Amino acid sequence: MKKSNYLKLYLVTDSGLALGRSVESVVHEAVRGGVTVVQLREKEASSRDFYNTALRVKEILRGTGIPLIINDRLDILLAVDADGLHIGQSDLPYEVARRILGPDKIIGLSCDNDEQLLKANQYEDLDYVAVQAYGTQTKAEADHPLGPEGVLRSKQLTRHPLVAIGGIHLENAAAISAAYADGIAVVSEIMSAADPQKAAANLLQEFEKGRK
Amino acid sequence: MKKSNYLKLYLVTDSGLALGRSVESVVHEAVRGGVTVVQLREKEASSRDFYNTALRVKEILRGTGIPLIINDRLDILLAVDADGLHIGQSDLPYEVARRILGPDKIIGLSCDNDEQLLKANQYEDLDYVAVQAYGTQTKAEADHPLGPEGVLRSKQLTRHPLVAIGGIHLENAAAISAAYADGIAVVSEIMSAADPQKAAANLLQEFEKGRK
């Protein structure tokens, strides 16, 4: 059985949504509120800026046991020796990333439809899959149902721990965890919260509530 | 003495300037014309597209002895096992890239001013520096003179092989090589040429002419 406890409350950063605060300051508060894993996602930053942000966030997470995951950029992961990589369907292929990183780094993969979830079942060492929970479902390939029903269906299809992302907030977090998601991932709910610590604590509480 | 002969005619790709042709088809023709090194530069592509293009260009270069250099993305280099990395001042720091890549991969570094050229002199294992030859000099830090005078001055400051890039074409290539550049780098002169093979052959001829 793969570990999945670290996936419970998964913060994905977006410096553009941090209301002018630094990513690391929001992460710092969110950690105090109980996030269990942090993914750095910086699609627009230069490599140097991404690297420097990753170094600062790594410092914030030092000693907490909370894994630092890098979105897409395997080179940034290597440069700061982060704990894992999150890739989507337009990033490096899973097998290539695993070959470079070896068995010990966490790798998560976003899956936009049933076919991708089933294909991911072939990746023995994949650490988790991520599926869309709610929201705009902008990705062209997305075809699975949304909401708790879609999460439950994805969970039945996959052999991996599953994180739900997109449109999750305080009012629906419990329903998603009740659908057997191993974790809920949020961006703006924490990044844009007036009080990121409180936002994280409340989300975690709802997640645990849904599990009972 | 570091090798520098491979730097003579340095093609930097830009798929947006290829007049609708694929990058690999232009590279294929340019190789027949005599380019001595190819740098893949894909600032807008997804990681997956960059990776796939790099695989195809690597296949084109197989057996030619022409090094494949990847711009910025060390992860793409590792994914396709390319020969080298080209970084600028807003990419990963040189020391970090060298630590990850080890001693055998080529690493080149763009320097925008005297201070950066002098700092690069501390990097014993750096393979080459690149400086602006002509052109818009858009980079805010650029302060060295342009043209053959600037190239000569940069060459006097650096301990590394030097590639000149920006605004080089058939009419000024010989003047740049006469200023002791070890190589001339071009983008549109080859990428947008009606006949990339001929364009490469003519540029190489001018470069050699300037050396005499």
pLDDT (tens digit, 9 = 90+) per residue, A79-101?
999 999 999 999 999 999 999 99
pLDDT of residue A156: 96
pLDDT interval class at A197 (50, 70, 90): very high
Mutate to test the interface with A, among B44, B47, B85, B96 (most CBs of A within 10 A): B47
Span B175-200, average pLDDT: 97
Mutate to test the interface with A, among B42, B44, B53, B75 (most CBs of A within 10 A): B75
pLDDT of residue A141: 46
pLDDT of residue A212: 85
Supply the mean pLDDT for chain B.
Answer: 94
pLDDT of residue B93: 98
Q: Tell me the residue type at B149.
A: E
Model confidence at B16: pLDDT above 50: yes
- Name the architecture of domain B7-208: Alpha-Beta Barrel (3.20)
Span A47-73, average pLDDT: 98
Q: Report the share of chain A in percent with pLDDT over 90.
A: 91
Among chain B residues, the shortest Cα distance to A89 is held by B48
Decide if A57 contacts A24 (C-beta within 8 A): yes
Of B66, B61, B23, B25, the closest CA to residue B45 belongs to B23
pLDDT of residue B2: 80
Whether A101 has its CB under 8 Å from any CB of chain B: the answer is no
Q: Which two tokens stand for residue A159?
A: 């052999």
pLDDT of residue B103: 97
Of A190, B75, A192, A180, the closest CA to residue A207 belongs to A180
> Number of CB pairs < 8 Å for A and B?
61
Is the CB of A89 less than 8 angstroms away from the CB of B51?
Answer: no
Span A166-188, average pLDDT: 97
Model confidence at A204: pLDDT above 80: yes
Sign of CA dihedral B130, B136, B138, B140: positive
pLDDT of residue A2: 79
Span A205-211, average pLDDT: 97
Task: Supply the pTM of this predicted model.
Answer: 0.94
d(CA A14, CA A188): 8
pLDDT of residue A146: 84
d(CA A65, CA A86): 18
pLDDT of residue B141: 45
pLDDT of residue A143: 58
3-class secondary structure, A185: strand
Task: Tell me the chain A residues in contact with residue B76 when contact means C-beta distances shorter than 8 Å.
Answer: 92
d(CA B191, CA B206): 18
Of A19, A30, A16, the closest CA to residue A186 belongs to A30
d(CA A41, CA A48): 14
pLDDT tens-digit readout, B139-184: 544 555 689 999 999 999 999 999 999 999 999 999 999 999 999 9
pLDDT of residue A136: 58
pLDDT of residue B40: 98
Supply the mean pLDDT for chain A.
Answer: 94
Is the CB of B46 less than 8 angstroms away from the CB of A100?
Answer: no
d(CA B207, CA B179): 11
d(CA A15, CA A192): 10
pLDDT interval class at B131 (50, 70, 90): very high
* Predicted complex ipTM: 0.93
d(CA B158, CA B129): 8
Whether A48 has its CB under 8 Å from any CB of chain B: the answer is yes
Partnered with residue B186 across adjacent β-strands are B11
Decide if B166 contacts B138 (C-beta within 8 A): no
Is the CB of A51 less than 8 angstroms away from the CB of B89?
Answer: no
Q: Kindly list the domain boundaries of chain B, sorted by start residue.
A: 7-208
Whether B95 has its CB under 8 Å from any CB of chain A: the answer is no
Model confidence at A145: pLDDT above 80: no
Decide if B113 contacts B129 (C-beta within 8 A): no
CA distances from A108 to A89, A103, A157, A174, B99 (A): 11, 13, 16, 23, 26
Cβ density class A23-42: b for 16+ within 10 Å, e for less: bbebbbbbbebbbbbbbbbb
d(CA A111, CA B201): 47
Q: Which two tokens stand for residue B114?
A: 């005297």
Task: Tell me the chain A residues in contact with residue B91 when contact means C-beta distances shorter than 8 Å.
Answer: 46-48
A110 labelled ligand-binding? yes
